[in-house]
Amino acid sequence: MRVPVVTVFMAMVCVVMVNADIQPQRDFNLQRFAGRWFRVGLAYDSPEFTPYRERLRVSMGMITPLPNGNVNLTMWAMRSSGCVSKLYQYERTNVPGQFTYFSTRHNKMKDITVVETNYTEYALVLKHKKFEQEYTQVALYGRSQKVKPEIIQKFKSFASSRGFPRESIITPPPTENCPPSGSGR
């Protein structure tokens, strides 16, 4: 299929514009961001992920800041084999609130931007790969498994403004006993 060069160029300009204006939380403070979070919302439009939308549950994450400004993020999720944890290592950049990490699943470097957080209640996080919506996610984290409706609304509006279709913006049901109570908390 031949696509006119100008069309490709226009599409690229649009994608760049979508990501270019995203600034991290002003005066981002990693120490205040540390600790336990629950991922209570996810916008993800990868065709590969579509069959799993229904099965998604809230998952718990633990942010551990390292002395050099990098971050270890441990996430727990229910699999058919039971509750499993996975470690993600986010590397700092010169911009506070902005990290990079290597996605082993997609074999690509990605940018992580903490777009907005008030530390005690919620955080809106954009994980993106420039030019590729398929690899882009918006996540809403809450300090508890339930967040206020206004915050859910903020997340949905933000994800829509980034071009995610409505059906790709999910607020999954709670998870039970993952990690098992008493561990990791």
Q: Applying CB under 6 A, which residues contact ligand NAG?
A: 64, 66, 72, 87, 118, 120-121
List, in order, residues 6 or more apart from 182 with CB less than 8 Å away.
none
Biggest distance spanned by C-alpha atoms of the chain: 59
**Closest distance of CB 64 from ligand NAG, Å:** 5
Strand partners, 73: 63, 88
Q: How far apart are CA 119 and CA 34, in angstroms?
A: 9
**Closest distance of CB 119 from ligand NAG, Å:** 7
**Cβ distance to ligand NAG smaller for residue 62 or 77:** 62
**Closest distance of CB 150 from ligand NAG, Å:** 6
Per-residue H/E/C for 17-52: HHHHCCCCCCCCCHHHHCEEEEEEEEEECCCCCHHH
**Closest distance of CB 133 from ligand NAG, Å:** 27
**Closest distance of CB 155 from ligand NAG, Å:** 11
**Cβ distance to ligand NAG smaller for residue 64 or 183:** 64
Nearest by Cα to 137 from 129, 147, 145: 129
**Cβ distance to ligand NAG smaller for residue 68 or 80:** 68
**Cβ distance to ligand NAG smaller for residue 56 or 152:** 152
**Cβ distance to ligand NAG smaller for residue 62 or 170:** 62
Question: Cα–Cα distances in Å, from 10 out to 5, 16, 150?
Answer: 9, 10, 35
Beta carbons within 10 angstroms of residue 29's beta carbon: 12
Beta carbons within 10 angstroms of residue 138's beta carbon: 26
